[in-house]
Copies of this chain bind each other. A is one copy, B any other.
Amino acid sequence: MAQKYERDATATRARILEAAAAEFASFGIAGARVDRIAENAGANKAMIYRYFGSKDELFDAVFSTHVVAFVDAVQFEVADLPAYAGRLFDSYQDLPRTLRLTHWYQLERPDGPPLQAIVDSNDRKLHAIADAQAAGILTSRYSPTELLVLVRGIAMSWNNLTPELDLQSSEPRQKRRALVVDAVRRLMLEPVEGGWSPARTAASFPMPDLI
C-alpha cells in the first residue's frame, strides 16, 4: 500500500516536472501559470505546492534538472575541443527547451545562485584544459577559461542569430555545424616560426585538414 502510494507520488512528480518544463520554457518564470501546469500534468495545484513549495521552487527543480542533464549529456574531451564544440552545437539545436529555460533564467534571475553541479563540472573541465596545456597537447595561447568561453561562444553562435540574419542565411544544419568545428579547430593551432602548426603531440590531437 505504502509502495503503491510512493509509486504514484513519483509518477505524479514526474508528470508535474514535465508539464512545468513545457510551461516555463514557453512563458518564463513570471509568465508561467501553476494552474496550467496542474491541468497539463493531471494534478492539482495543492499537490504542486505540497511537492515543490512554490512556483519559484518548482522552476528551480525544473531548471537544475535540465541544465545538469544537458551538461552531463555533452561529452567533453580535452584532446578534441573541436569535436566538443560540435557536440555542444548539436545539443543547442536539439534541446531548444533547455536553451529557452537558460535564457529565461538569465533574464529573470540575473543574480541567481550558481548550481554546484555546474561549478564542479566547469572545474573539472578547466583543470583538464590546464593539464593538457602543461602537457603541450593544447595551445597555451589562451587561459583555460578563455578557451572554454571561446568554444561555447562559437558553438552558440548560430543560436545568437538575429531573426533578420536567420532569414538571410540558408546554410543547412550540417554546414553550420562544420563551421563551428572548423573555427574552434583553427583557434587551437599554435603559432610557430614561419606559420602555424597543430599542437606538438599530434597523435592525441586530430590533424586539421586545412591546407
Write the residues of chain A forming the contact surface with B, with a CB cutoff of 8 angstroms: 27-28, 30-31, 100, 102-104, 106-108, 112-115, 118-119, 122-123, 126, 142-143, 145-146, 148-150, 152-154, 156-158, 160-165, 167-169, 171, 179, 183, 186-187, 189, 191-197, 210-211
User: Closest residue to A116 on the B side, CB-wise?
Assistant: B164
> Separation in Å of the A95 CB from the closest CB of chain B?
15
Residues B169 and A149 in contact, CB atoms below 8 Å apart: yes
Copies of this chain per assembly: 2
CB within 8 A of A115: which of B114, B142, B149, B164?
B164
- Chain B nearest Cβ from A172, distance in angstroms: 12
Do B146 and A150 touch across chains, with their CB atoms under 8 A apart?
A: no
Residue of B nearest to A121 (CB): B164
A165 contact set on B, CB distance < 8 A: 122, 145, 148-149
Q: Which 10 A-B pairs have the closest CB atoms?
A: A195-B195, A153-B157, A196-B196, A118-B164, A145-B169, A114-B164, A30-B31, A191-B210, A119-B164, A191-B211
- The 18 listed contacts between A and B (C-beta, < 8 Å) are A28-B28, A28-B107, A30-B30, A104-B107, A114-B163, A118-B164, A122-B164, A122-B165, A123-B168, A145-B168, A149-B165, A152-B157, A153-B156, A153-B157, A154-B157, A191-B210, A192-B195, A192-B211
